[in-house]
Structure 1
């Protein structure tokens, strides 16, 4: 697929995949790493949007954003597989927190169809980006700028939703630990 990140050997990296959602200061670290990922992918999106072929940028954005969402979810420990490994009570809390913050893509199996629904919400901007391509040079620059801004905005929204869900789960975990330690 376009722009799919090469799979790294887990043994070669110093960090094993997270089994639980991140907590404490790790939430802010994960948030900053993910925002950096979003900025890099938004630049790629802008570069592809500058190509004067209609439709190529939308296909590229769809693929790139799908991969980005999966990586952000994993970074926060909120991918579907990671949430399914949680205690049933924490799993329910994770899905409730995702629904309450509007995290449409948090903890779900991310498909191109699901991302396409998200892109349809931003349809006017995508249409403007496509239409501007017919104007030579200035239109391509405008298309790239719109593509960058739209991709970054959608990516940042997803990162913030994941951070909120992780904070909610951390609060629930603290409450659980506090009630478990009360002597009877």
Structure 2
């Protein structure tokens, strides 16, 4: 299965956007891992949902695929994006992230998340496994979303927005 970098096919701007998104995703996945070790029922699910509701729009923004960015495109380019979205089949690209969308993503990872809940109650080793599963689940969902964004950008032939340069940490 190709990675997001492979899908960028040597496009330097696209590869840089993928790398920025992966750095952001890695930081968020570490937070998910930390939350997974706390033996409070449902805390890790709540943290995962909160993290996903922030990281998905940030990834969309890197690729110029937020609803606001798409509204600024000329009509011809918006049509290309809609066709690319239909082809890729993503439910998160170019959409406002709602609770229902986050729940749909979590359902895709349902078995892993349920095992993570059970594992956290085994002292030390279980918490480590739970943390690893929390990290892996968020990384997987984020990486799949990055791939979808790359596919949409390539299919629609969009130019990426300039990278955001803010002084605040992600």
TM over 0.5: yes
Q: 1:74 aligns with which of 61, 66, 84?
A: 61
Q: Give the secondary structure class of the aligned counterpart of 2:50.
A: helix
Return the TM-score normalized by structure 1: 0.77
Aligned to 1:180: none
Task: Show CA shifts across 1:84-107 (max 9, x none).
Answer: 111122112212212322322000
Task: Show CA shifts across 1:93-124 (max 9, x none).
Answer: 21221232232200011112211111111111
Aligned to 1:110: 97
Q: Give the secondary structure class of the aligned counterpart of 1:160.
A: helix
Residue correspondences, number = 149
Aligned to 2:20: 33
Aligned to 1:98: 85
Aligned to 1:182: none
Q: Give the secondary structure class of the aligned counterpart of 1:141.
A: helix
In terms of Rg, which structure is larger? 1
Q: Distance in 1 between matches of 2:148 and 2:137?
A: 17
Return the TM-score normalized by structure 2: 0.83
Runs of at least 5 residues in structure 1 that lack an aligned partner in the other structure: 1-23, 174-184
Task: Show CA shifts across 1:30-85 (max 9, x none).
Answer: 11100111111111110110111121010000011110000010111100111111
CA RMSD of aligned residues (A): 1.5
Aligned to 1:64: 51
- Structure 1 residue runs of 4 or more that deviate by more than 4 Å after TM superposition: none
Q: Which moved more, 1:55-64 or 1:133-142?
A: 133-142
Kindly state the Cα deviation for residue 143 of structure 1 after the two structures are TM-superposed.
Answer: 0.6
Q: 1:165 aligns with which of 141, 148, 152?
A: 152
Kindly state the Cα deviation for residue 144 of structure 1 after the two structures are TM-superposed.
Answer: 0.5
Contact conserved, 1:65 with 1:115, CA < 8 A, in 2? yes
Q: 1:121 aligns with which of 86, 108, 128?
A: 108
Contact conserved, 1:50 with 1:140, CA < 8 A, in 2? yes
Kindly state the Cα deviation for residue 155 of structure 1 after the two structures are TM-superposed.
Answer: 0.4
Q: Distance in 2 between matches of 1:103 and 1:95?
A: 11
